[in-house]
Structure 1
Amino acid sequence: MATTLKAVKRQDHKSSTTKKLRWNGQVPGIVYGKNKENTSIALDSVALVKAVRDNGRNAIFQLAIDSEKPVQVMVHDSQMEPIKDELLHVDFYIVDMKEEMDVEVALNLTGEAPGAKTGGVLQQPLYELQVRAKPGDIPEEIAVDVSQLEIGDSIAVGDLPKSDKYEILDDPDTTVATVLAPDTLEDVEEAPSENDEPELVDAESKDK
């Protein structure tokens, strides 16, 4: 069952009022959706952060605004204060549980690559995948097993298991994990080129 978040409508958008909201532990936000009127809200910042941490950023929440009937929403965007790491604003999108949507899903490597044990370097060029799915079918993350990767091996988007619940939209040739060979070449002093000018001898030394 979806976690319920309680919010109140926000009528006053003055900066002084917004600062007071944040001072009192509230975060301002907005709720919108297809054919839905935008609604400014405020809700408890700690409760929201905890809900997202416990359920994932693509989770479906029941948002209860004042005494209105709760609506199903997802966190579409948020703004953080970089120095204090405080939540400044949040956007909620009202979802249609029967309609597919495009979202970003975390990509997580699992297992230990044999190639990494023998001196190779495991690299993950991609940390998120573009996924299309109905809201209730969006995975919290997509795990990729790297336990078979030797030095020189790689896994591309097209190698990932297919699902009947979601579609990965990224280019199939995009690499998601690879084990690179270690760089064992030592620096070698370059031999002088035939085009190099000869070293000049100090004139005073020559006269001697």
Structure 2
Amino acid sequence: MATTLEVQKRETKPHSNITSIRNAGRIPGVIYGYKAENVPVSVDSLTFIKAVRDNGRNSVFSVSVDGAKLNVLLHDYQIDPLKGDIEHIDLLAVNMSEEVEANVTINLVGESKGVKLSGVLQQVLYEITVSATPDKLPEVVEIDITDLDIGDAITVTDIPKNGDYEVITEGEEVIAAVSAPRTADEPETTSSAVTEPEALHGSDETPNK
């Protein structure tokens, strides 16, 4: 069952309305998609963040606009690069019986055989795109790297088939690999994941208003 999310319709002019909405602790957004055409809305910031943390980034939320019930997904969001606050959200109205595409986080699980031999694990891909009906979209895809030896790599093709969703990302894309141990003369390199803002994760901090 979809979690209810309270939204309010908002005026789009003048521009100062956006500032006042944010100052009031609300996030401006828009609903579009199935049976909805660019409906400007706003949602309470704390309520929205809690709903995403509790239910997941790809969860279906039920909203009411002008008396009409819609099922929506968090399709996109914009972040203030300085404050880290969510500045705007796009809510995609969906037909629960039709497949949609969504990005899903990859989690590596297990300890690689190659790492036990002092190999270096490098994760290259942190998200994949999947297609599924809205109620079947996963929050994460776990990949077991236990058998990954030095010189081995796991690609998207190696992800086990799942009856709930189809992987859309190109199969030859490398997810992770284990390279040989570094020598003393080799510089250490690090890779960084592209992550969602802290606001959408389980932090105890209250977002800035």
1:201 aligns with none
Alpha-carbon deviations, 1:163-183, whole Å to 9, x = none? Answer: 111111122222112111023
2:160 aligns with 161
* CA gap 1:149/1:27 in 2 versus in 1, 3 angstroms: same
Cα offset, 1:129, TM superposition = 0.6
2:143 aligns with 144
1:77 aligns with 76
After superposition, residues 74-153 of structure 1 pair within 5 angstroms as: 74-153=73-152
2:59 aligns with 59
Cα offset, 1:161, TM superposition = 0.7
Q: Which stretch shifts more, 9-18 or 143-152? A: 9-18
1:26 aligns with 26
Q: Which runs of 5+ in 2 are unaligned?
A: 187-209
* CA gap 1:76/1:186 in 2 versus in 1, 3 angstroms: closer
After superposition, residues 191-206 of structure 1 pair within 5 angstroms as: none
Q: Is the 8 A contact 1:125 1:176 kept in 2?
A: yes
Q: Is the 8 A contact 1:6 1:65 kept in 2?
A: no
Cα offset, 1:77, TM superposition = 1.0
1:108 partner amino acid:
N
Cα offset, 1:27, TM superposition = 1.0
TM-score by length of 1: 0.84
1:13 aligns with 2:13: yes
1:46 aligns with 2:66: no
Q: Is the 8 A contact 2:12 2:40 kept in 1?
A: no
Q: Secondary structure at the match of 1:39?
A: strand
Cα offset, 1:151, TM superposition = 1.1
Alpha-carbon deviations, 1:88-139, whole Å to 9, x = none? Answer: 1111110011111111111110111121122100111110111111111111
1:186, 1:127 → 2: CA distance? 29
Q: Secondary structure at the match of 2:38?
A: strand
Runs ≥4 in structure 1, deviation > 3 angstroms? none
If asked which structure has higher relative contact order (CA below 8 Å, sep 6+), I would say: 2
2:207 aligns with none
Q: Secondary structure at the match of 1:6?
A: coil
2:159, 2:143 → 1: CA distance? 7
Q: Is the 8 A contact 2:132 2:164 kept in 1?
A: yes
1:58 partner amino acid:
N
Q: Is the 8 A contact 2:35 2:93 kept in 1?
A: no
2:29 partner amino acid:
G
Cα offset, 1:62, TM superposition = 0.7
Give the percent of matched residue pairs that are identical in Structure 1 and Structure 2.
42
Cα offset, 1:12, TM superposition = 4.5
2:204 aligns with none
2:128, 2:13 → 1: CA distance? 36
1:205 aligns with none
Q: Which runs of 5+ in 1 are unaligned?
A: 188-208
- Larger of the two Rg values belongs to structure: 1
